[in-house]
């Protein structure tokens, strides 16, 4: 929380400095900023609430034992099944990591677990609905989900080359027979429906307030870039086929916006940055950002973490830069 407050303070100082450089009235600038910020936040907040409610329900009511026996053990089949599994769990990247770790403990193949980790934050119904609400049912929606499915499946398939999971996973994520720790070897808890529902709501509430601060920060940055930075500078920054992609990838990692609402943040950049760079933000951000990297460290060893970050990064850059280089139809 102190780092979040520091970020807001630095952001406000930056806005005041930029307004002074432009010679504009600070009051007018702040009024315009407030309007843009509230527009982004109010549109996105309902999807964040819906996503956190679904996450709480999945955390409490979905037993991993119901899933692991239905996942193929083969490399390609496991990767595809893990990607498809993402359609069934309406959770963002914060909810997928603890669930994937428990599934690994139950014997889920690494290829399936990695594909699930990368695909689930994007291909689930809630993110589909929020993306459609922000961009409509068009090419950007199709490209986001298609590219996510391909990258998640390919990454899971590459991970299957390592036949010894203990080289990639931490002991807390390994089955006991493969040298895993006993930390997570607990039975699925039995409670009454009222107790389960209460726990689900508590989980949802905690996640809503935890993720809400990232939504506030992301919405504020998007609004500040529209209000305080001259459009000519943004156009120059966002027009390069490679530079625009790298800038948006950097923003995606640093902002760590929840996938249920990142479409509304990305929408603010669509008129300034190239479609390929906006797509890079929408595809790579839900897979890998600062908060998910910290969570991945609790599941993967350094080698596995490096692969998990770099393989999707290279694939995303290759596809989106190519899109920027191709002539617009």
Contacts of 57 (CB under 8 A, 6+ apart): 200, 204
Q: 106 lies in a domain?
A: yes
HSE-up of residue 34 (Cα within 13 Å, Cβ side): 6
* Helix 193-227, helix 243-255: angle, nearest 10: 140
User: pTM for the complete prediction?
Assistant: 0.76
Q: Which two tokens stand for residue 273?
A: 């940055």
The pLDDT of residue 301 is: 92
Q: Which two tokens stand for residue 319?
A: 């596809």
Domain total in the chain? 1
The pLDDT of residue 60 is: 79
Pair 242, 321: CB distance under 8 Å: yes
The pLDDT of residue 208 is: 83
The pLDDT of residue 292 is: 84
The pLDDT of residue 55 is: 72
* CA dihedral for 76, 80, 85, 86, sign (positive or negative): positive
Q: 270 lies in a domain?
A: yes
DSSP 187: P
Q: 307 lies in a domain?
A: yes
Question: For residue 315, what are the domain limits?
Answer: 29-325
Contacts of 281 (CB under 8 A, 6+ apart): 248, 249, 251, 252, 262, 266, 269
Residue 1 CB coordination number (10 Å): 7
Q: 252 lies in a domain?
A: yes
DSSP 136: -
Mean pLDDT per segment of 10 residues, for the chain of length 329 residues? 51 53 63 82 79 77 66 82 85 76 80 93 90 92 96 95 87 65 49 85 83 77 72 64 90 83 87 89 92 84 94 97 82
Q: 20 lies in a domain?
A: no
What is the SS3 assignment for 257?
A: coil
Q: 52 lies in a domain?
A: yes
* Helix 110-123, helix 139-159: angle, nearest 10: 170
Residue 239 CB coordination number (10 Å): 14
The pLDDT of residue 17 is: 54
Strand partners, 329: none
Q: 92 lies in a domain?
A: yes
Q: 96 lies in a domain?
A: yes
Give dist(CA 90, CA 53) in Å, integer: 9
Pair 149, 287: CB distance under 8 Å: no
């Amino acid at each position: 929380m102190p780092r979040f407050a520091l970020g807001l303070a630095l952001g406000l100082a930056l806005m005041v400095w930029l307004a002074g450089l432009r010679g504009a009235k600070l009051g007018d600038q702040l009024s315009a900023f407030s309007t843009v910020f509230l527009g982004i936040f109010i549109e996105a907040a309902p999807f964040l609430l819906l996503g956190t409610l679904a996450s709480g329900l999945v955390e409490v009511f979905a037993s991993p034992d119901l899933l692991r026996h239905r996942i193929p053990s083969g490399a390609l089949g496991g990767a595809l099944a893990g990607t498809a599994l993402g359609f069934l769990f309406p959770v963002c990247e914060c909810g997928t990591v603890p669930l994937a770790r428990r599934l690994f403990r139950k014997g889920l193949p690494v290829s399936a677990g990695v594909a699930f980790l990368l695909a689930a934050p994007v291909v689930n119904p809630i993110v589909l609905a929020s993306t459609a609400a922000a961009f409509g049912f068009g090419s950007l929606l199709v490209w986001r989900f298609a590219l996510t499915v391909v990258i998640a499946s390919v990454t899971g398939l590459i991970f299957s080359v390592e036949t010894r999971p203990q080289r990639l996973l931490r002991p807390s994520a390994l089955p006991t027979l493969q040298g895993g720790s006993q930390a997570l070897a607990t039975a699925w808890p039995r409670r009454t429906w009222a107790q389960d529902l209460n726990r689900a709501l508590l989980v949802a509430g905690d996640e809503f307030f935890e993720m809400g601060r990232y939504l506030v920060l992301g919405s504020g940055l998007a609004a500040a870039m529209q209000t305080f930075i001259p459009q000519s500078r943004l156009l120059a920054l966002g027009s390069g086929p490679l530079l625009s992609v790298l800038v948006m990838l950097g923003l995606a990692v640093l902002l760590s916006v929840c996938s249920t609402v990142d479409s509304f943040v990305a929408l603010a950049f669509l008129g300034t940055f190239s479609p390929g760079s906006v797509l890079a933000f929408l595809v790579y951000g839900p897979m890998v950002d600062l908060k998910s990297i910290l969570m991945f460290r609790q599941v993967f060893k350094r080698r596995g973490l490096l692969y998990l970050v770099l393989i999707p990064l290279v694939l995303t850059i290759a596809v989106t830069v190519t899109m920027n280089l191709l002539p617009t139809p």
